[in-house]
Amino acid sequence: MFLTRSEYDRGVNTFSPEGRLFQVEYAIEAIKLGSTTVGIRTPEGVVLAVEKRVQSPLLESSSIEKIMEIDTHLGCAMSGLTADARTMIDHARVTAQNHAFTYDEKIKVESVTQAVCDLALRFGESVHDEEAMMSRPFGVALLIAGVDELGPQLYHTDPSGTFMRYDAKAIGSGSEAAQSELQDKWHKQMTLLEAQKLTLRVLKQVMEEKLDHHNVQLAQACHTAERL
């Protein structure tokens, strides 16, 4: 007996005959509706910038937090469902603190990214597993930035549990135009100040509203000041 398309849609861990996981694909599509987020890695550090969508004049813009600290040397920016992002960031924070307590050292940026992606892959597992109660993939992508013994690092994660390292990356609703601009303007010897200017210039081009200090959040991780 063959499953229909709708049954493949409902099965979060069932592959279609074409080898697709539709629920994961839908989660990735949800990210394309999220705020535009940009990250740039330089020899001096990493810059993160996020569009903050202020939907109402009665909304306090400072309450919209799109960039969060994981540890003193790393943090992340998000695009997609904020509640999902908070769950993943809480997991990353616990992982970082456990590593620091056990080994008396700061965790590597890649190790935190791997832990987050391991969590992303737990959707659809048995509810008897106390650590796996997710009924669907996380609808969020993260740009994880930090500085460790290997230098400045920038990683991108998606709902499939895949992560990759980038020199510059854009996610969210304006990601296509933003990524094209990053490919044209980024260079290996870019300074931290140049990266800050480029992230803001890219956001200005793709945002519907005029860019100002109320609708953009900017942070950096660098050797001289690791805290975001």
Q: Which residue range forms the structural domain that includes residue 211?
A: 32-222
Residue 81 forms part of a structural domain: yes
Instruction: Bin 53: left if φ > 0, else alpha if -120 < ψ < 50, else beta.
Output: beta
Strand order in the sheet with 216-222: 168-171, 37-41, 45-51, 216-222
pLDDT tens digits for 14-53?
777 787 788 888 888 889 999 999 999 999 999 999 998 8
pLDDT tens digits for 74-106?
999 999 999 999 999 999 999 999 999 999 999
Tell me how many domains the chain contains. Answer: 1
* pTM greater than 0.95: no
Residue 2 forms part of a structural domain: no
pLDDT band at 13 (very low <50, low <70, confident <90, very high): low
Residue 12 forms part of a structural domain: no
Residue 148 forms part of a structural domain: yes
CATH of residue 199's domain is 3.60.20.10
| φ, ψ (nearest 5 deg) of residue 51 | -75, 130
Residue 62 forms part of a structural domain: yes
How big is the chain, counted in residues? 228
Residue 18 forms part of a structural domain: no
Residue 13 forms part of a structural domain: no
Residue 15 forms part of a structural domain: no
